[in-house]
């Protein structure tokens, strides 16, 4: 398909979508038949000769009109805020309207309308730029990784410029390639022209096609070039007056760049006043908007913050350089707004809520608002890829991950790419300078995915493969050489048809064994994201392979802007690239058309790992072709952090319902034990975390695998069971609406004293480290709650709903012969599992009335969000609502009688026929605790071993 053909197809889709939107506004249902009719009408206008691919246009519009977008959720503080945004203010907007029309060429009208609503919601939380006096608004927008945050802040910038903001600064990462990528996107979405070295409007592009009036051209002080950041020589030529069109600055989070920008702002070119008290140069006549992309990275002050005796921040504290310069820039304007964008907001929430210094002004805590933006239904995020936590592993994930284990030796210490290696490491496999089989297969899968996209009419679209295996550029270069050699030889054999039979057989085997069945599964499990794309026959794939392989280029991705420019330079027929990178790929940089990822980095910190997940995002018409080659351990960790993210978003939804402010949410989250997967440096603490377990559920997922510790933990459980005597219930059952939950092989004790629970936890050993299910810390927390009269009474369940095993007598009253079976992730020296509890277990002590009430409360807060794998309403109460209900006191009892639930799980000592540890055939004892919600505010200190932290989770970024 030529570029002219593509333009005709795009025009047909745009006109047909406009016609369909009118029908929808009239209340008509958008059906495939109606779409086909409108495509016929549009094609008659754009291509009377009948060459346009009407089937492709119809398929694209069916995909677009199947999308839906949930609602955003917002915490806000309206102190000193004046409502201002109304339809009258919006009637003469031009920057947004041209972007809106431009976006509707390639996106669903539902998605564009949702973007319009969402960004209106953000803008109205800022201040009216025409408001007189001094004001300062600071907020945070939380999206999903690769979910379109750039589209959100591009739209917000357009609307802010329409409303009257004069200086717009975008903090675009720490590397040239990301800054350049952001500049290019804003040229397309806001400026309407390509920036030239002279900072004058160059080649028209993007939104210029919708409104070419030069009178609305925004000014721009930066360019897309590698050296296009703000600099002193450029600054000498710029001055700004209030009546001018808005100015855009796209700058790195770099000390030198921000220092020059601050100096220019405080120069006579911009500042128009002096603060009488401090002598600071001030700007009073130009409203400022700062957009902070990846706001949790570099912007947060990670330094120790000394406090005064009364607990207030020391105003003489010197923050870290980037944080301090951002704050100084904001502090230099009497009218300012700051909006951070991130998918991993925890570091921002830990910013001191009252942090302020004389020189820098307030810290960057989002005191005005925090907004969770919903993703469209075709977004593919961690909950979609890896599924949700279930009793026997994860449920509902997509079959896209492929296991990688051949990159390391059996002991994990050597091999092609061991977790720990030096920058001089030679990536040899089996003694040779070659790739491991898993990476060879991944590259072949990429070639097949590109060929399939050609067969689907997407050959002119970008297609990318990510190889993320090391942080060292020297090692990346060696990997590039190996991949280059492999691709060159594969291309030569296929294109020349010489010695190619074995290779063709390998490729066909991968296609028929992997791609064909996976495409069929994804079409069923994710129809809105898959878009009903057809599966090409092998003969079609084989015909496309020679051209596809010839087009593939291999490159390393470093900090140069050139890496971001190649997509634009190859826009005629699409770039097909295998990108090898490390830390430069970990933040913000988008790989267009990402199909295959090969990822074996070992960090486990929530924010770092999620940001490395470049494979999340939108895959229109080719989701079923995507592959993630990674280790089973990283898949498990992604599952953990998907659960952690969901837990905190649920907490956010609850506090939105309560009308809470960002400050209140910050205090709630700060003590949440799930955040043990975030660097303590970003939590403003180098030694101790202060946690509350109230309203949370903790479970052991990591255990010793030596006989001594396993025996000690089993003995602790035996002593507890013996001390409790005869169980209150054997094989308990609970009515659940029209069904019944049953635990036929389990035992339950009611009214157990907390002293017995404390004895158990003090005798039970959990591995050292940062796991939140730490028995010693839990015992300390329960003891502190007992001192204020809470958690004195417990329900204890011995849960044995599993496969029959060798009977084990816990006491004369309790002999168990069935054990839950859980998978072992193979971590040396430790037995680890993905999930312990069954979702129904946490409500084992609730009767039908309480269970139904908890379900009703769950449904009240539930809203569809495909990014969180929320498509159909839940049929069971959330654990959070169960804990809240238990915190109120069950059966109308007084709040003081609220009780905890301890669940004991005797796990099978063998997994898939393999013993967890040698000569051990008894149960492996695990436990989970469901803590009732409490307003007591009790917290317990958790000491962090930083040496362990770095060994287990990696260093902070």
Contact 846, 862 (CB under 8 A): no
Whole-angstrom distance, CA of residue 198 vs CA of residue 223: 9
pLDDT of res. 386: 81
Looking at residue 156, what is its pLDDT?
98
pLDDT tens digits along 16-58: 998 998 888 888 888 889 999 999 999 998 888 888 888 888 8
Could you report the per-residue pLDDT of 276-311, keeping only the tens digit for each?
Answer: 888 889 999 999 999 999 877 666 655 544 444 444
Q: What is the mean pLDDT of residues 120-128?
A: 97
Rounded Cα distance, 187 and 250, in Å: 10
Alpha helices in 791-940 (DSSP H): 848-861, 879-887
- Structure token digits, residue 623: 């989701």
Residue whose C-alpha is closest to residue 208's, from 216, 198, 199, 197: 216
pLDDT at 686: 37
CA distance 590 to 610: 14
- Terminal C-alpha separation, the chain: 44
Where b means 16+ CB within 10 Å and e means fewer, 528-552 reads bbbbebebbeeeebbebbeebbebb
As given in the structure block, the two tokens for residue 709 are 């510790």
Whole-structure pTM value:
0.76
User: What is the C-alpha to C-alpha distance for residues 417 and 409, in angstroms, rounded to an integer?
Assistant: 9
**E-assigned strands of 543-631?**
552-556, 576-581, 594-599, 617-618, 627-630
> Which residues are within 8 A (CB) of 511 and not within 5 positions of it... i.e. 6 or more apart?
448, 538, 541
Token pair belonging to 579? 């990108």
Q: Give the integer Cα–Cα distance in Å for 194 and 924.
A: 64
| pLDDT > 70 in the chain, percent | 82
Least confident piece of the model among 457-466, 651-660, 878-887: 651-660
Q: Report the run of H or E that residue 521 belongs to, with start and end.
A: helix 516-525
Q: Average pLDDT in the 576-604 region?
A: 75
Q: Are 147 and 179 in contact (CB under 8 A)?
A: no
Q: Which residue ranges form the domains of the chain, and what is each CATH number?
A: 3-65 (no CATH), 73-301+318-372 (3.40.50.300), 398-639 (no CATH), 693-938 (no CATH)
Measured distance CA(840)–CA(681) in Å, rounded? 37
- 287 C-beta neighbours (distance < 10 Å), count: 27
Q: How far is CA 570 from the centre of its chain?
A: 29
The pLDDT of residue 383 is 77
The residue among 398 and 166 whose pLDDT is bigger is 166
* Residue, of 673 and 373, whose pLDDT is higher: 373
User: Does residue 180 contact residue 565 with C-beta atoms inside 8 Å?
Assistant: yes
Residue 251 has a CB neighbour count (10 Å cut-off) of 23
User: Among 326, 351, 347, 324, which residue's Cα sits nearest to residue 336?
Assistant: 326
HSE toward the beta carbon, residue 723, CA cutoff 13 A: 17
Name residue, tokens 């509350």.
692
Instruction: From 299, 371, 356, select the one nearest 607 (Cα to Cα).
Output: 299
Cβ-contact 490, 447 below 8 angstroms: yes
What tokens were used for 53?
A: 């691919």
CA dist 791 and 211 (Å) reads: 65
pLDDT tens by residue, 431-447 = 999 999 999 999 999 99
Strand-strand pairing, 335-342 and 356-357: unpaired
Max avg pLDDT among 206-210, 458-462, 932-936 = 206-210
Ramachandran assignment for 621, one of left (phi > 0), alpha (psi -120 to 50 degrees), beta (any other): left
Most confident of 470-474, 669-673, 768-772: 470-474
Is the backbone of residue 725 left (phi > 0), alpha (psi -120 to 50) or beta? left
Per residue in 832-857, pLDDT tens? 776 788 889 999 999 999 999 999 99
Q: Which residue has the higher pLDDT, 99 or 867?
A: 99
pLDDT at 233: 79
Averaged confidence pLDDT in the chain: 83
Contacts of 276 (CB under 8 A, 6+ apart): none
pLDDT for the residue numbered 207: 95
C-alpha distances (whole Å) from 934 to each of 199, 842, 863, 944 are 58, 17, 25, 25
List of residues 6+ apart from 890 with CB closer than 8 A = 845, 846, 850, 897, 898, 899
Percentage of the chain exceeding pLDDT 90: 45
For the segment 145-162, the average pLDDT, to the nearest whole number, is 89
pLDDT single digits (tens) 253-276: 999 999 999 999 998 888 999 988
CA distances from 600 to 44, 615, 862 (A): 51, 14, 35
Q: What is the mean pLDDT of residues 808-825?
A: 79
695-to-479, 668, 943 alpha-carbon distances in Å: 48, 11, 21
What gap in Å lies between CA 362 and CA 155, rounded to an integer? 27
> Which DSSP string corresponds to 313-329?
BPTT----HHHHHHHHH
Average pLDDT of span 111-132:
95
**pLDDT at residue 613 tops 60:** no
Q: In sequence order, what are the residues at sequence separation of 6 or more whose Cβ sits closer than 8 angstroms to the Cβ of residue 279?
A: none
CA distance 871 to 619: 19
Examine the pLDDT at 390 and tell me if it is beyond 90.
Answer: no
How confident is the model over 460-495, as pLDDT tens digits? 889 999 898 988 889 999 999 999 999 999 999 999
Tokens of 7: 């333009």
Distance CA 812, CA 797 (A): 16
For residue 640, the number of C-alpha atoms closer than 13 Å in the C-beta half-sphere is 29
């Amino acid at each position: 398909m030529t570029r002219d053909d593509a333009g005709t197809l795009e025009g047909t889709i745009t006109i047909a979508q406009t016609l369909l939107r009118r029908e929808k506004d009239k209340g008509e249902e958008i059906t495939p038949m109606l779409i086909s009719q409108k495509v016929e009408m549009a094609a008659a206008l754009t291509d009377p000769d009948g060459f346009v691919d009407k089937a492709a246009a119809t398929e694209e519009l069916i995909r677009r009109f199947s999308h839906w977008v949930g609602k955003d959720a917002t915490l806000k503080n309206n102190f000193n805020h004046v409502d201002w945004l109304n339809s009258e203010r919006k009637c003469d907007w031009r920057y947004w309207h041209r972007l809106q029309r431009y976006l509707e060429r390639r996106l669903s009208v539902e998605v564009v309308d949702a973007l319009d609503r969402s960004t209106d919601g953000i803008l109205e939380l800022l201040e009216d730029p025409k408001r007189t006096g001094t004001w300062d608004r600071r907020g945070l927008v939380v999206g999903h990784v690769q979910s379109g945050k750039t589209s959100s802040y591009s739209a917000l910038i357009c609307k802010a410029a329409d409303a009257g903001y004069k200086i717009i600064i975008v903090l675009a990462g720490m590397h040239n390639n990301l800054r350049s990528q952001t500049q290019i996107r804003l040229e397309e979405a806001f400026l309407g022209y390509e920036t030239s070295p002279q900072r004058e409007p160059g080649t028209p592009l993007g939104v210029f096609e919708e409104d070419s009036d030069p009178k609305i051209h925004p000014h721009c002080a930066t360019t897309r070039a590698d050296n296009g950041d703000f600099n002193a020589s450029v600054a000498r030529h710029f001055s700004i007056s209030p009546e001018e069109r808005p100015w855009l600055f796209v700058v790195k989070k770099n000390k030198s760049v921000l220092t020059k920008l601050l100096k220019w702002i405080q120069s006579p070119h911009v500042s128009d006043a002096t603060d009488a008290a401090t002598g600071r140069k001030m700007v009073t006549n130009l409203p400022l908007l700062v957009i902070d992309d990846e706001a949790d990275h570099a912007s947060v002050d990670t330094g120790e913050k000394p406090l005064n005796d009364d607990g207030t921040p020391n105003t003489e504290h010197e923050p870290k350089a980037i944080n301090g310069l951002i704050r100084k820039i904001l502090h230099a304007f009497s009218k300012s707004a700051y909006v951070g964008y991130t998918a991993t907001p925890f570091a921002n929430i830990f910013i001191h809520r009252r942090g302020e210094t004389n020189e820098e002004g307030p810290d960057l805590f989002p005191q005005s608002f925090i907004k969770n933006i919903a993703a469209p239904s075709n977004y593919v995020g961690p909950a979609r890829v890896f599924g949700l936590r279930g009793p026997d592993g994860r449920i509902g994930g997509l079959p896209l991950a492929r296991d990688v284990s051949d990159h390391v030796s059996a002991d994990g210490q050597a091999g092609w790419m061991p977790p720990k290696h030096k920058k001089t490491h030679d990536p040899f496999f089996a003694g040779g300078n070659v790739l491991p089989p898993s990476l060879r297969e991944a590259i072949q899968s990429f070639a097949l995915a590109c060929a399939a996209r050609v067969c689907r009419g997407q050959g002119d679209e970008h297609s990318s493969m990510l190889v993320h295996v090391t942080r060292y550029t020297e090692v990346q270069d060696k990997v590039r050489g190996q991949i280059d050699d492999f691709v060159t030889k594969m291309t030569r054999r296929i294109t020349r048809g010489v010695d190619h039979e074995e290779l063709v057989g390998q490729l066909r085997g991968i296609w028929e064994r992997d791609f064909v069945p996976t495409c069929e599964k994804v079409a069923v499990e994710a129809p809105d994201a898959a878009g009903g794309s057809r599966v090409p026959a092998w003969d079609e794939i084989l015909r496309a392979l020679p051209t596809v392989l010839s087009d593939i280029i291999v490159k390393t991705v470093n900090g140069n802007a050139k890496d971001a420019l190649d997509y634009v330079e190859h826009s005629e027929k699409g770039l097909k690239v295998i990108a090898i990178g490390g830390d430069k790929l970990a933040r913000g940089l988008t790989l267009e058309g990402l199909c295959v990822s090969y990822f074996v980095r070992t960090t486990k910190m929530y924010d770092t790992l999620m940001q490395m997940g470049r494979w999340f995002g939108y895959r229109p018409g080719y989701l079923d072709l995507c592959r993630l080659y990674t280790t089973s351990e990283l898949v498990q960790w992604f599952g953990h952090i998907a659960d952690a993210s969901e837990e905190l978003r649920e907490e956010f939804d609850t506090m939105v319902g309560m009308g809470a402010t960002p400050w209140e949410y910050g205090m709630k989250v700060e003590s949440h034990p799930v955040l043990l997967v975030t660097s303590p440096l970003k939590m403003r603490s180098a030694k101790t975390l202060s946690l509350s377990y109230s309203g949370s559920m903790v479970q052991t997922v990591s255990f010793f695998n030596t006989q001594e510790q396993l025996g000690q933990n089993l003995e602790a459980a035996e002593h507890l069971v013996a001390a409790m005597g005869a169980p209150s219930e054997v094989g308990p059952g609970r009515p659940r609406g029209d069904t019944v939950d049953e635990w036929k092989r389990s035992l339950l004790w009611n009214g157990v004293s907390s002293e017995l629970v404390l004895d158990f936890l003090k005798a039970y050993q959990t591995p050292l480290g940062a796991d939140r299910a730490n028995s010693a810390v839990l015992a300390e927390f329960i003891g502190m709650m007992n001192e204020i009269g809470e958690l004195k009474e417990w329900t204890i369940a011995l849960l044995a709903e599993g496969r029959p095993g060798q009977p084990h007598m816990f006491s004369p009253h309790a002999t168990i012969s069935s054990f839950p079976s859980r998978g072992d992730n193979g971590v040396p020296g430790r037995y680890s599992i993905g999930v312990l509890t069954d979702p129904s277990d946490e409500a084992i002590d609730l009767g039908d009335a309480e269970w139904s009430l908890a379900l009703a409360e769950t449904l009240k807060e539930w809203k569809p969000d495909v990014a969180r794998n929320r498509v159909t309403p839940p049929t069971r109460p959330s654990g959070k609502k169960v804990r809240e209900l238990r915190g109120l006191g069950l059966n109308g009892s007084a709040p003081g009688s609220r009780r905890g639930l301890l669940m004991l799980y005797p796990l099978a000592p063998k997994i898939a026929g393999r013993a967890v540890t040698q000569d051990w055939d008894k149960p492996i004892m695990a436990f989970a605790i469901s803590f009732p919600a409490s307003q007591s505010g009790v917290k317990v200190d958790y000491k962090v071993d930083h040496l362990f932290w770095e060994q287990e989770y990696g260093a902070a970024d």
